Amino acid sequence: MKKIIAKRKLFLLGFIICLCIGITTNVSAVTQWCLQSLGSASCLFANAANPVLPTTGENGAVVSTSRDASLVGLEVLKDGGNAIDAAVAVGYALAVTDPCCGNLGGGGFMTIRFADGEETFINFRETAPLKSTADMYLDAEGNIVDELSTRGYLAVGVPGTVKGLNYALDKYGTMKRDRVINPAIKLATEGYTLQQGDIDIFQAGKSRLEEAETAKIFLDDRGKVRQTGDVLQQPELAATLQQLIPEGDAFYQGEIAQKVVAASEANGGILSLEDFATYNISEYEPISCSYREYRVISSPPPGGGTTLCQMLTVLSGYDLQQSGWRTTESLHHILSSMLFAFGDRNRYLGDPDFVDNPVDKLLSAEYAESIRQQIPANQAIPPEQVYDTEVQSEGTNTTHYSVIDREGNAVAVTYTINSYFGAGVVAPGTGFLLNNEMDDFTAKVGVANQFGLKQGSTNIIEPGKRPLSSMSPTIVTKDDEVFLVTGTPGGSTIPTTVLQVITSVIDYQKSLTEAVNTPRFHYQGFPDMVTTENNAMQSETIRGLRLKGYKVNPSDRQWGGAESIIVNSETNLLEGVNDIRKPAGAAVAY
């Protein structure tokens, strides 16, 4: 891929002038530092204070849910690191500055598209402990025990984040561990200033912050949520991060694993030293599909890329532009594609080490046509005609970030501890929260978990197995060049959110800012309800959908955080957009 270098100096000059005019006197300390250190064109944060403008740069861009973490990644790029170096640095920084979701104690996916056109996918999803059993969350009568899979040490899967980040750095990065981890250590040691967006998340997840080890880190001395402007220091996390720098495996075969296992054993968990010692990542080709003139690269099973690509393959047979932006007709086709994709996700998909996933069939043109033949023109399809059983849910409190470097390497990362603040437990002396990823398995076929989604037998608990996930870190190319890097948190809404970003840009020629920030909708069949953010659809359109048989529920709830970067084909500049639903986040570029 040729270097992404802008040639239009007049455009850049005009942009800087407009930016300088728009800067107000009420600028945060982080923004002031960025303006002084990196220059105005690098530091137009695409956030709630200025939601209508993207951040634009010639040489590299980083977008994440934390301003501080984004700046860490940008400095790595400016120091000559590649997109993989920056992605690893951001991942470690988010473990400090986005503790609800960024993590050392969880897992995730990384999709990479190299400048030479090669692609890879790194699966560092958590695994079920070796002592796990299929009925471990059921009582003697076979009923699910409330919160057993969501709170405490029995809910914890074997973490994969550290193994995944270090693997990516060692194989594809150019920098040493100290260079990419030290910024996170500094943030943990010196602290970072809490923004209102941080406080909102702490407030929403407070019930998971009340265990003694967790509370001493994240709550104040009175056991209350901290205030905007407070500086959060995490010395134990800094010490843990410091242990990750030397060559070796302190996390999986050293003191860190020992502390986590000891805490688990003391509190009813089943994690073992063998779980940590035998954990490993998987690397394979990402899933891909064609959509219009574009190619979409995303996460294979157990990730959500198959669901995303199946929806796109079905929709490729409709002229969405002709049917109009969020009209009853276009939404009927989109909602129907969602229904069939979630039905097949439930029926077929799981950990490829345990399940034979029929991906080629699900993404074939013939199968897409067979689905379109089942979609009537004037009525909604009853979900029970599509599903064998209902759909399993998963935690919505994930985080996503996107990176592109000057050479055109692109990285999309989505990782998680599942619920806000995971299982709500911190092993003494470690400083990091542990996941409750075991709730992403099917505890009992046909019974919902914490988020109301249900699922079939392909996702039952088995030792060493990875739970099914909707995480879909995605890269879109056109003419063999990177066009878009995107992804989002949001549990089962992840594929549908990424779908809306892609179709908004490709079918409706929306700007990336519009595509990311436009109100969203979601449909998965069970529960049989189309959920929308406020103003996602016009009232006339909602009436039309209801006449077709859809149940539409406009909601005050918001979801996702589609931290995205697009390559502007006219200016050849990188445009980063921070989702306004993540006001503590930022897009930065240079």
Q: How far apart are CA 509 and CA 518, in angstroms?
A: 13
Is residue 398 part of the annotated active site? The answer reads: yes
Q: How far apart are CA 485 and CA 110, in angstroms?
A: 12
Exposed, middle or buried, 231 (CB in 10 Å: 0-12/13-18/19+)?
Answer: exposed
The pair of structure tokens assigned to 243 is 């242990």
What values do phi and psi take at 583, rounded to 5?
Answer: -65, -15
Residue 64 marked as a ligand binder: no
State how beta strands 574-577 and 564-567 pair.
Answer: antiparallel
Q: Are 462 and 134 in contact (CB under 8 A)?
A: yes
Q: How far apart are CA 233 and CA 229, in angstroms?
A: 13
Residue 120 marked as a ligand binder: no
Q: Nearest 10 degrees: CA dihedral of 219, 225, 229, 232?
A: 20
Task: Report the Cα 167 to chain-centroid distance in Å.
Answer: 19
In 3D space, the residue among 119, 113, 64, 115 whose CA is nearest the CA of residue 93 turns out to be: 64
Q: Are 144 and 447 in contact (CB under 8 A)?
A: yes
Residue 200 marked as a ligand binder: no
Residue 226 marked as a ligand binder: no
- Cα end-to-end distance, the chain, whole Å: 19
Residue 245 marked as a ligand binder: no
Q: Are 292 and 303 in contact (CB under 8 A)?
A: no
As a residue count, the chain comes to: 590
Question: Which residue in 328, 398, 399, 488 is the catalytic one?
Answer: 398
* Amino acid letter, 229: G
Residue 542 marked as a ligand binder: no
Residue 416 marked as a ligand binder: yes
Q: Are 65 and 93 in contact (CB under 8 A)?
A: no
In 3D space, the residue among 142, 144, 84 whose CA is nearest the CA of residue 113 turns out to be: 84
Residue 125 marked as a ligand binder: yes
* Amino acid letter, 410: A
Annotated binding site for L-glutamate: 125, 416-418, 440, 469-470, 491
Residues identified as active-site: 398
Binding residues: 125, 416-418, 440, 469-470, 491
